[in-house]
Amino acid sequence: MKRINQKISDSLLFRTFASFIAILSFMFSTACLVSCAQSGKVAYDFSQNDEPFCQVVLEDNEAFVAKESVLRVPRGGTAVFSLRVNEGYTLIGTDFSDSARSTLQMDGTSTTLTIHDVIYPAVVSIMSDKTPVTIQYVANGGTRLDGLDASMPISINVTDSKLRHNTSIGIDLFSRDGFTLIGWNTAPDGNGAAVGLGSRVEWEEGLTLYAQWSKWTDDSFFSFEIRGNGAVITKFQNAEYLPVADAGGDVLTIPARLGGYPVLSIEEYAFQNCPAKTVILPPGLRTVAAYAFCGSDLETLYLSDDIINVSDYAFKDCPDFATLHINAVEAPVYATNYYATFQDKFDRLVSLRHKKKIVLFSGSSARFGYDSERIDEAFPDYEVVNMGVFAYTNAYPQLLLIFDNMREGDILLHSPEFDAAQRQFCVRKELDASFFCMMEANYDTLALLDLRETGLVFTALNSYLKTKESLPPQSYALSPADYDEDGKPLAENGQGSVENADSAKSYNEYGDYILYRPNSDSDEPIYGLGVEYTVAAFPASFIESLNQTYARFLQNGITVYFTYAPRNRLAISEESTEAELENLHAHLQETLCVPVISELEDSLYPGRYLYGTDNHLSTEGVEIRTKQIITDLQKQMERDTPENVDAN
């Protein structure tokens, strides 16, 4: 797939030329064609054009890849195109004017299009259709809400635009008295691959997901009060509690209803010193008060994204609490936003887990800062993933998730933005609202994170959920790749913007934002906020924190390189003199535990190469930077070869 875009680009010229020739040929042969039309035969007046060859151009289509898209055949001969049909597509015919002379033939995995008796230049299109991507859901002990036989699976089509697909939230499909739906599994007994409600699963033909139910702990263990329209849990009878063995061990599943009322709240100290290791909160629960689970043996918590407020102090003195599962019972609100690109990028990273790769990481300057396909071509032994999303959320938890999907021999290229230095140098390790925004498209990713390494988990979750309430609901079927940076659909953008009209997606497979971005008319900064590029702005605590994070990668045999994020040259502080820039570069080279592969000076660009902000490169700026980064990487990798290391 790496060369598809180039092939498409190369074929545009051929298409245009062939179309022009076809029009001329049509004009010359009109009289003959008309005279023969009455008899139903097609004729061609060779006296009008004595060229011995004809060019046949096959229109590009996302449904297939052609070995060759332009063929030159002898007049009267046969043009045969070899095709590979992309997964999820079906070819259904051509628009060739004489359908009897075009044949689509499939033989196993190969497909050929044959145009017989080619007597004039032609441009041919193949019509295609998408094969529905369907996931089947089985109630697995529950009942179908549509009233049909529960043993019959429900088939739901999903949008085939992602490496992995979001599942149904489930509560609109099935119910089961006395049980909470906690997710899906590829096996009825739960021993297959597990996936949360609304989270992502790798699709394959015939994929069937089985509802996973957890039985409510008996009402007798709970003291509660009815307040208004709901029940409030005030006490859990720890002394009498027996873990539910058939629910997988030390599992406490809090009922969704007590005394005939929905459970809306859990009060302070209600579950103090609770022995359960897994706690499942019901959908519909609104609040969990401070100290509600303090001193408990909790390790894993399940909750739904309709909860309103959970205090961080609710889990005080729970040293083993490491894993949080969030089930989606609400529609997403960031499905078309750049936040959602994190999960698309993460899907690619996961898919390449066992392959050598170069991972590009920072904030949005990375999203807008690389031509990853060029890097891919320059380093054919490596796959490339652009994991940059947003600089103003803490890098540390993102790097933990990235680390778990890298292996010995991989390369992490880090380019932290200096305008968010504390976040980007891993000084701040807590979760924040923006991090949860990036988790929304696949909450299961959050469950991969060990919460003991972060902080402020529920403060961040509360902030995210509060903002979410005020935003219009979207759909998990939507993708940010179909929208521009401002959230406008590309179809609309294409109509109003010549620059973006030729792009079908705003993000490519690597994770780069690829819509065309013109150079600025001025070199002046956009925001007028000068970022400090001085040694004083990067104290020892910053360097130590970043080095500790890098050490984690290095200990696993992962190579880490440091480079600089792009910045408008005029968008740095007055204190950032030429001498200070040199001092800072030398300081980072000396104190960081990984190589600084680039010159700081190379990261400061004339403002004309920035687009919309002071660190998002224009399309031309990306070309300039990518060329420099490739050179920097090649030189450093050469220095790091065993023979050169030994020589030094």
Average pLDDT over residues 190-219: 95
Query: pLDDT tens digits, residue range 283-337?
Result: 999 999 999 999 999 999 999 999 999 999 999 999 999 999 999 999 999 999 9
CA distances from 456 to 265, 289, 408, 418 (A): 21, 15, 32, 24
Phi, psi of 14 (to 5 degrees): -65, -40
Domain-ending residue, one of 215, 248, 272: 215
Q: Is 476 within a domain?
A: yes
What letter would DSSP give residue 440? G
Distance between CA atoms of residues 169 and 335, nearest Å: 15
| 207 burial level (CB within 10 Å; 0-12, 13-18, 19+) | middle
pLDDT(235) > 80:
yes
| 412 burial level (CB within 10 Å; 0-12, 13-18, 19+) | buried
pLDDT(88) > 80:
no
Predicted confidence at residue 100, as pLDDT, reads 64
Distance between CA atoms of residues 184 and 328, nearest Å: 12
Predicted confidence at residue 243, as pLDDT, reads 63
> Do 341 and 478 meet the contact criterion of CB atoms below 8 Å apart?
no
Alpha-carbon torsion angle 478, 481, 485, 487, nearest 10: -20
Predicted confidence at residue 484, as pLDDT, reads 93
Q: Is 639 within a domain?
A: yes
Q: Is 333 within a domain?
A: no
Amino acid at 557: G
Distance between CA atoms of residues 578 and 442, nearest Å: 45
**DSSP reduced 3-state for 234:** strand
Which residues constitute the domain of residue 293? 219-327
Would you tell me the crossing angle of helices 395-403 and 540-555 to the nearest 10 degrees?
A: 10
Note whether 509 and 638 are same-domain residues. Answer: yes
Lowest mean pLDDT among 273-282, 521-530, 560-569: 521-530
Percent of the chain with pLDDT over 90: 73
> Do 308 and 332 meet the contact criterion of CB atoms below 8 Å apart?
no
Note whether 551 and 576 are same-domain residues. Answer: yes
**DSSP reduced 3-state for 408:** coil
Note whether 275 and 400 are same-domain residues. Answer: no
- CATH code of 301's domain: 3.80.10.10
Structure token pair of residue 542: 């910053």
Contacts of 554 by beta carbon, 8 Å cutoff, 6+ apart: 560, 593, 594
Predicted confidence at residue 258, as pLDDT, reads 97
Identify the band that residue 529 occupies on the pLDDT scale cut at 50, 70 and 90.
Answer: confident
Maximum Cα–Cα distance for the chain, whole Å?
A: 102
Note whether 207 and 255 are same-domain residues. Answer: no
Q: Is 332 within a domain?
A: no
Total number of domains constituting the chain = 4
Note whether 627 and 540 are same-domain residues. Answer: yes
Lowest mean pLDDT among 50-54, 352-356, 431-435, 469-473: 50-54
Lowest mean pLDDT among 98-102, 365-369, 405-409, 595-599: 98-102
What's the chain's length in residues? Answer: 648
Note whether 260 and 385 are same-domain residues. Answer: no
pLDDT(421) > 60:
yes
Query: pLDDT tens digits, residue range 58-81?
Result: 998 888 888 899 999 998 899 999
Q: Average model confidence (pLDDT) for the chain?
A: 88
Note whether 433 and 552 are same-domain residues. Answer: yes
Write down the residue that tokens 């956009």 correspond to.
Answer: 526
| 394 burial level (CB within 10 Å; 0-12, 13-18, 19+) | buried
> Do 389 and 367 meet the contact criterion of CB atoms below 8 Å apart?
yes
Write down the residue that tokens 């190379």 correspond to.
Answer: 602
Note whether 504 and 390 are same-domain residues. Answer: yes
Contacts of 110 by beta carbon, 8 Å cutoff, 6+ apart: 82, 83, 84
CA distances from 541 to 3, 546, 592 (A): 45, 9, 12
Write down the residue that tokens 């780069």 correspond to.
Answer: 512
Distance between CA atoms of residues 204 and 132, nearest Å: 12
Q: Is 578 within a domain?
A: yes
Predicted confidence at residue 438, as pLDDT, reads 98
Domain-ending residue, one of 303, 327, 351: 327
Structure token pair of residue 587: 């300081």
Note whether 427 and 440 are same-domain residues. Answer: yes
**DSSP reduced 3-state for 284:** coil
Q: Is 138 within a domain?
A: yes
Lowest mean pLDDT among 101-110, 457-466, 497-506, 622-631: 497-506
Structure token pair of residue 619: 């399309």
Query: pLDDT tens digits, residue range 466-505?
Result: 999 999 999 998 999 999 999 899 865 443 333 444 457 9
Predicted confidence at residue 239, as pLDDT, reads 72
Lowest mean pLDDT among 4-8, 456-460, 543-547: 4-8
DSSP letters, 523-551, are: -S-SS--PBP-SGGGS-HHHHHHHHHHHH
Distance between CA atoms of residues 427 and 83, nearest Å: 52
Distance between CA atoms of residues 532 and 572, nearest Å: 6
Predicted confidence at residue 41, as pLDDT, reads 31
Note whether 554 and 594 are same-domain residues. Answer: yes
Tell me the chain's radius of gyration from C-alpha atoms.
30
> Do 452 and 397 meet the contact criterion of CB atoms below 8 Å apart?
no
Q: Is 648 within a domain?
A: no
pLDDT(23) > 50:
no
Distance between CA atoms of residues 216 and 156, nearest Å: 28
Identify the band that residue 157 occupies on the pLDDT scale cut at 50, 70 and 90.
Answer: confident
Residues facing residue 201 across a β-bridge: 165
Distance between CA atoms of residues 428 and 564, nearest Å: 20
Specify the DSSP element, H or E, that contains 224.
Answer: strand 222-227
Predicted confidence at residue 32, as pLDDT, reads 32
Domain-ending residue, one of 130, 158, 181: 130
> Do 124 and 93 meet the contact criterion of CB atoms below 8 Å apart?
no
Average pLDDT over residues 377-399: 98
Note whether 343 and 279 are same-domain residues. Answer: no
**DSSP reduced 3-state for 506:** coil
Please give the sequence-ordered ranges of beta strands (E in DSSP) within 556-647, or none if there are none. 559-562, 567-568, 604-605
Identify the band that residue 244 occupies on the pLDDT scale cut at 50, 70 and 90.
Answer: low
Note whether 79 and 211 are same-domain residues. Answer: no
